[in-house]
Amino acid sequence: QVQLVQSGAEVKKPESSVKVSCKASGGLRFAINWVRQAPGQGLEWMGGIIPLVGTTNYAQQFQGRITITADKSSNTVYMQLSGLTAEDTAYYYCAGTGNWFDPWGQGTLVTVSS
Amino acid sequence: EIVMTQSPATLSVSPGERATLSCRASQSISINLAWYQQKPGQPPRLLIYEASTRATGVPPRFSGSGSETEFTLTISGLQSEDFAVYYCQQYSDWPPRTFGQGTRVEIK
């Protein structure tokens, strides 16, 4: 069964960038998406990548700030978000497949604070 | 962008009773709908996809129905582990994939 394991929690300064990783056991045979959840809030899709072809799609509200990449040699997908503000404080999840999302990573808490 | 609207925001139900959660799409999405359950401190868990197909390992007390713009998640005989937040998500159109705002099922 495929599992997604994410990198650990991060604390960042405003205006800096964060890069979160998501390692897939068994290879990158399906799309990987990124979904975030601010404290006490709902789920927000950020973007996704099809690693086999490198195709990416991003939510409009993150265009220009987000970059999703894949390293097929290490079965790892990365999500980089720049221009951080306090409003970017959230749990960031990777999730597999391009339609419904399954499996999910355990989540990475990113805290943006001066 | 397809907007997903869930109702109610909070549902109070006694253990053993039935819970009925609604999800409405702003335009037709056929049956391209998934439901997730999320408990505190955990990532979401896929329950239902294609509007009515249970994911692997999901108990039969969870059932999904609907098409086009109106969808329902029914939990029959609520158990203690079912008290959580439930989200619907459309995958008819992208970008973006969009979620409803969630329904919290709490103990009455």
Residue identified by tokens 């999730």 is A95
pLDDT band at A93 (very low <50, low <70, confident <90, very high): very high
Task: Pick B96 or B49 by higher pLDDT.
Answer: B49
Query: Is it the case that residue A98 has pLDDT exceeding 80?
Result: no
* pLDDT for residue A26: 79
State whether the Cα torsion A76-A77-A82-A87 is positive or negative. negative
Sign of the torsion angle spanned by Cα atoms B54, B16, B18, B99: negative
Inform me whether the pLDDT recorded for A39 exceeds 90. yes
What does the pLDDT read at residue B39?
A: 97
Cβ-Cβ contacts under 8 Å, B43 against chain A: 93, 95, 104-107
Give chain B's mean pLDDT.
96
**Are the C-beta atoms of residues A110 and A87 closer than 8 Å to each other?**
no
Range A14-37 average pLDDT: 94
Query: Using CB atoms, which residue from A42, A58, A106 is nearest to B43?
Result: A106
What is the H or E stretch that residue A81 is in?
Answer: strand A76-81
pLDDT at B1 over 90: yes
Q: Which of residues 20-39 of A touch B (CB under 8 A)?
A: 33, 35
Count of residues in chain B: 108
The predicted pLDDT at position B50 comes to 98
pLDDT at site B58: 98
Strands A108-112, A10-12: pairing is parallel
pLDDT at residue A45 tops 90: yes
Distance (Å) from the C-alpha of residue B39 to the closest C-alpha of chain A?
12
Alpha helices in chain A (DSSP H): none
Residue in B closest to A96 by C-alpha = B46
The radius of gyration computed from the CA coordinates of chain B, to the nearest angstrom, equals 13
Nearest residue to B54 (alpha-carbon basis) of B43, B45, B42, B44? B45
- pLDDT of res. A27: 83
Mean pLDDT computed over A25-36: 91
Reported as a pLDDT band with limits 50, 70 and 90, residue A82 is very high
The arithmetic mean of pLDDT across residues B70-91, rounded, is 96
pLDDT over threshold 80, residue A2: yes
Q: What is the pLDDT of residues B21-66, one digit of tens each?
A: 999 999 999 999 999 999 999 999 999 999 999 999 999 999 999 9
